[in-house]
Amino acid sequence: MVTLAEQPAGTPEKTRIVFIDIGRSIAALLVFYTHIPGPWVRAKGEHAPFIDFIETFTSDPMHMARQGIGQLSVPFFFLVSGFVVTPLAMRQGHFRFGVNRIIRIYLPLGFVLALTSLALLAGLEPQSTYQSQELTPGTFLTNWSLANYLIYPQVVLLPVAWTMIIEVLFYLLLFVLLPVLRRSVWLAICIELTLVFVVLLSRSALNESWSLFAVNVSYLPIMIIGQTIWAVTTKRIPLWAGSVFGALAWMLYVFADIVDVGRIDTSYNLALAFATVCFLMGMFAEPHLKQRRFWTELSERSYSLYLLHALGIFVILGLLRPAVPFPIALVIMIAVTFVVVEVSYRFVERPSHALARKLSRLRGSKPAPPRDDDRSGRADSSASAIAAEITVELPRVQRPPDRPRQPPPQPAPSQPAPPRGGEPRPRPRTPNPPPPQPGRHRAPQPLPPRAPMPPRNSGRPAANGVPRANGAPRPAPPRPTERRTLPPNG
């Protein structure tokens, strides 16, 4: 299996996983778009033929007309969290991981919640889930801590933050199971699946707050699928075990749909299946993708865009309509929203990253103990390559060292055949002297001495009386005659 650390030779070095950057960017844009046709156009009765045209070929064929095509983004975000945050927690340890998660999640969330509170105090109408939006210091704190999604009755000031409580629950689960993860990944996944199953079975056994907790836990199987993909690609569990864990996580997610735990239509399973296919396609295409600045910049701002887009849609369009035509008001709203997103990223989100890194260095965290398979050189493109901590820290992809190119084998120089026995050896050639330059006279150069020729036979007989041919080998001398002595008579 091709790992994320492998790159084709000759490509520039990557510092990020490109398919995650592209996926997070597109997912954030889809969420932005989805809150325009549904919560605004249809709810306000706007006439927008171009929106209807887009919906005809996107949300309607995918059976997502009620929630929009942006419903695909939520499972993709959760898959990325399971795939990326799991090795991040193992690398950082309890203290550093907890400090980073708290600051990076809650500081931008508090900024957007403060803007939403100002809009409510000014009499504007930000996005609402038709639940209570009573603004008090207590409700502000419960919304900032995301505990409002676990308290009945709910007071929801920022509706898009419902996915963040699921992220926080997953972080808490990783925090508790971190010692188990470092020793045995498969055992940690088994514990997570068992916990989800128990919570879903007991969803109605206690009070309403426990039922709300079960609704949020029902989305954890998506993150477990992303975690399983990471474990398989880094060879921490075999492929057959990853297939079993992935199938069990899928069954738990479908079971939550069967028992109707917080589901409002029948498109949840299709959205997860489509998002998983897109995730796997991007993972296998990673070695062939190039890192582009556009996707990198947009991916880094995806968290701010996710938190601020609904506020921009409802507040800005509410101020411009109906005085300004809808197409013009839509363009103005998009431009102003991206300006506010840039301000939030530069002055809130990015400084929170620096603060998280600074505070996490106050106390050293225990690194993950080395594993036997890591010592043997197995690929671990996530846990061993995380160096940059961005919005949701993306592992750096290290470029493998280039293999030295060996020169092509050159043909051996042809050597002249050795002379035969009766043939004379060729005389060595002497280089010709350079021609004299015009206008100058050179003294005549003596000719090089010629090699002595072998003497020719004059036809005289040799010592044995047999004439020798020119160049013929000298015959062997004759054997001496043997003399016999007769014994004397008598």
| Unique residue bearing structure tokens 């050795």 | 418
How does pLDDT run across 293-323, given as a tens digit for each residue?
A: 999 999 999 999 999 999 999 999 999 998 9
14 pLDDT band (50/70/90 cuts)?
confident
| Residue at 402 is within a domain | no
Beta-carbon contacts of residue 36 (< 8 Å; ≥ 6 apart): 51, 313, 330
How does pLDDT run across 211-230, given as a tens digit for each residue?
A: 999 999 999 999 999 999 99
How does pLDDT run across 114-135, given as a tens digit for each residue?
A: 999 999 999 998 998 888 999 9
142 pLDDT band (50/70/90 cuts)?
very high
Total number of domains constituting the chain: 1
Q: Is pLDDT at 37 greater than 70 in this prediction?
A: yes
432 pLDDT band (50/70/90 cuts)?
low
Neighbours of 195 (CB within 10 A): 15
| Residue at 265 is within a domain | yes
| Residue at 442 is within a domain | no
What are phi and psi for residue 323, nearest 5 degrees? -65, -35
| Residue at 488 is within a domain | no
Q: Is pLDDT at 158 greater than 50 in this prediction?
A: yes
Q: Is pLDDT at 24 greater than 60 in this prediction?
A: yes
- pLDDT number for residue 271: 96
Average pLDDT of the chain, as a whole number: 82
Could you tell me if 127 and 160 are in contact, meaning their C-beta atoms sit under 8 angstroms apart?
yes
More reliable by pLDDT, 361 or 257: 257
Q: What is the mean predicted confidence (pLDDT) over 452-476?
A: 52
pLDDT over 70 for what percent of the chain? 71
| Residue at 447 is within a domain | no
Q: What is the mean predicted confidence (pLDDT) over 317-330?
A: 94
| Residue at 403 is within a domain | no
Structure tokens given for 41: 């156009």
Q: Is pLDDT at 368 greater than 80 in this prediction?
A: no
Range with the poorest average pLDDT among 215-224, 358-367, 379-388, 461-470: 379-388
How does pLDDT run across 370-427, given as a tens digit for each residue?
A: 454 443 344 334 433 333 443 344 444 444 455 556 666 665 555 555 555 555 555 6
More reliable by pLDDT, 282 or 65: 282
| Residue at 210 is within a domain | yes
Structural domain for 127, as ranges? 19-65+72-368
Range with the poorest average pLDDT among 330-334, 337-341, 384-388: 384-388
Could you tell me if 127 and 310 are in contact, meaning their C-beta atoms sit under 8 angstroms apart?
yes
More reliable by pLDDT, 56 or 449: 56
Q: How far apart are CA 395 and CA 319, in angstroms?
A: 42
H or E stretch covering 96: helix 73-121
Burial 311-350 (b: 16+ CB within 10 A, else e): bbbbbbbbebbeeeebeebbeebbeebbebbeebbeebbb
- pLDDT number for residue 3: 43
Q: Is pLDDT at 248 greater than 60 in this prediction?
A: yes
| Residue at 173 is within a domain | yes
Cα–chain center distance at 382 = 8
